[in-house]
Structure 1
Amino acid sequence: MTDLVAVLTDRGRVRDVVSYALREARDADDATETTVRFSIPVGRTGDAVPSATGETLAERITELVADSPYGSLDVEVATVPVGRSTADDRVRALVEAIPATATDLVLMPGFTEFTAATLADALAAAGRSGVAVERAPVDRRIVRSPVAVTSTTARLVATFGLAYAFYLSLGDPTEPFDLATGAVSAGVVTLVLGRVTFETEPSLAGVGRVLRALVFLPYLLWAVVRANLSMAAVVLSPRLPIEPSVVRIPAPEGRIARALLANSITLTPGTLTVDVTDDELVVHALTAATRDSLEEGSLSRAVDFVVHGRGEYRTTPGTARMAAETPRGDRR
């Protein structure tokens, strides 16, 4: 017996992903008995959904399966608790929830916290290298997070603290008048913006991320200055040694990390992020030096340090080959 596991959240076309997983299982069922398992990550971090949402989503998946022409298949729908753990713990929880008989893992396009390569690496590390990982080839619906979120004590306290600290930084924290008016102002800000300040629940991990970002900022500024000087030298050179190319580099884990890396690359002269896919960033590089720097991954490691506190750069086989095979244009 072989198993097909599909990871779903509420961000995307659930019906299309369920239909795709069932069709794949039916095709495989011609040769072997196949069980389809729909896993829903439940927690308060990453792409996990709250418990109540997970239960509602599980009921919807069950209804979709019953209404489909593949209702005779052996189907399981289960939630995978990931809590408020770190990204590594969430990957581990997902891998541990995959049955030992599983041969295929299908990711919903809206589940963007981890790339297919990241989960494949985690499976291989757990001795499960035989599991094929792919994104469901269905159209991805753009799902925007709501502007307002549920007010919690942690969000309100964090909003008040940030507003109060900012107010005192502009005044005199030793002056009673500033202390009193700052508290009133921070209270008003909390009442008005308490539901829009934080997308996720504030935690100590978030504080560490902010502190690491303060270290990253001068590093990025230095990279921008250095790239400006390099581009100036290229422009002023009589030979104009440009070598345009398109490079594909591995995308980091998580929406925040991908957005930070994509924008950091674009801010650095000589490079421009053209597209962001589930597993890769497509970047236009103007010179061979900028292309080599992207493939070396120093900026990617810095972003991984900010977001995840690791400073790693995930390489994928063929990255350099794909870059080398991309037409680089003519020197002008």
Structure 2
Amino acid sequence: MPEPSARILVPVGDSSTFRNTVAYAVREARRVADETGQEPTVHFVYPVRWQLVDETERSAADEVAAILDKARVWATEDLDYDDDGDLSDEDITVSIETAVVGEDRYLFSPGDFAEVLLEYARDRDLDRIIVDPEYQPGGSAPMLQPMEAELSKSGRAVEEAPVERVVERSRLPSRANVSKAVVMFGASFGFYLLLSGVVSTFNIVTGAISAGIVTAIFARISFVNSPTPRRFVMRAGRFLIYVPYLLYEIVKANFEVAYIILHPKLPIDPKMQRFRAAIWGDLSVTTLANSITLTPGTLTVDVDRDSLIIHSLTGSSRDGLSDGALERAVRFVFYGRAAARIPTPAERDAVRDGSAPPRPTEDAE
């Protein structure tokens, strides 16, 4: 078992035990430093599941900044007091750091979260990881224990803060859980009736039972954010606009591929390329990846950290991806009209490489 370390990393997120976890981490750093003479430091790190590309994500960034600021303030307060609640006169200074990681990645699985945290820990020589027992890295998805298992593979000491969990009991379900249940039940029930092909009493009853079982099992883990009627209606409306556009792109690509097949010289130039899209979130990334695959001439092979791995048949299909029309259309569906006004992937790559200045985005409406 690794020796106790005063160099600690704490993944953070808003939870009922966040405050107590902060207190435990800073006091552990000071205790171990007092016993071993190590230089104590605690790093509070927030792994994000989105990429900050333009002003449409500023509210999420502000929320993260507020959470990290809470951690710093609480840590400073706890260092001023000893374990008995009295003012501390210990001459041990604990360094407190905060950071955001994962902005340049797609963080989906427990392994993705563990990887960015371990990279941060290796770069800063942090030997111990303390985890908030109520921390939810994947939103509402149950990913804490798998993430802890991935972190433990590194050989670092990984532990949950021994804090008392706050169990909230209520006779009435929360509005967030009700909205998740309603959307899950409606989608499952509608899909069942669609597959059955006949609206009969038997199908309605069995469909309702099946949808109820699916809702009970999956409703609370299938949504990162609680669905709202307004968001659902707006996304559904924008998706109805997106479908004809996608069909047009599919038809156009079919003609291009047919021309290549019928051409005597078969002018193909197949390549694998990494496509960095300004899209994040399971559903939006899946929509973009499947849209690319449905368009003849391009195939999404994999999602790799901060990008999609795409096989393209011709140079023109690669140019189409670089122009970013499909990416902007998916952004329009999930994030609104203002979110579609961003530089193209080619322009962003040029800025990243330092070969071109960034194109200013228009103000959000």
If the TM-score is normalised by the length of the shorter chain, which range does it land in?
A: 0.5 to 0.7
1:261 is matched with which residue?
Answer: 288
Of 213, 226, 229, 1:192 maps to 213
2: CA distance between counterparts of 1:70 and 1:289? 63
2:251 is matched with which residue?
Answer: 225
Of 313, 317, 324, 2:349 maps to 317
Percent identity reads 29
Does the CA-based 8 Å contact 1:61-1:77 persist in structure 2? no
Of 199, 214, 220, 2:240 maps to 214
The answer to whether the aligner puts 1:305 opposite 2:313 as a matched pair is: no
Aligned pairs (5 A) from 1:99-178:
105=99, 107=101, 112=106, 135-136=116-117, 138=119, 145=141, 152-162=177-187
**Gaps in structure 2 of 5+ consecutive residues:** 48-55, 73-95, 109-114, 121-136, 144-172, 355-365
SS at structure 1 position matched to 2:300:
strand
- Deviates most, 240-249 or 283-292: 240-249
- Deviates most, 230-239 or 184-193: 184-193
2: CA distance between counterparts of 1:76 and 1:137? 12
Amino acid at match of 1:293: G
How far does residue 287 in structure 1 lie from its aligned partner after superposition? 0.9
Q: Deviations over 1:198-237 (max 9, x none)?
A: 6123223234323322322222222222111111101111
How far does residue 293 in structure 1 lie from its aligned partner after superposition? 0.3
**Gaps in structure 1 of 5+ consecutive residues:** 1-14, 23-35, 43-50, 81-85, 115-133, 323-332
Does the CA-based 8 Å contact 1:248-1:319 persist in structure 2? no
1: CA distance between counterparts of 2:37 and 2:290? 44
Does the CA-based 8 Å contact 1:227-1:270 persist in structure 2? yes
The alignment yields a C-alpha RMSD, in angstroms, of 4.9
Larger Rg: 2
SS at structure 2 position matched to 1:300:
helix
Of 294, 313, 331, 2:321 maps to 294
1:282 is matched with which residue?
Answer: 309
SS at structure 1 position matched to 2:349:
coil
1:91 is matched with which residue?
Answer: 61
Q: Deviations over 1:222-253 (max 9, x none)?
A: 22221111111011111222222333322312
Tell me the number of residue pairs that the alignment of Structure 1 and Structure 2 aligns: 246
2:78 is matched with which residue?
Answer: none
**Residues 87 and 57 (structure 1), Cα distance of their counterparts in 2 relative to 1, 3 Å cut:** farther
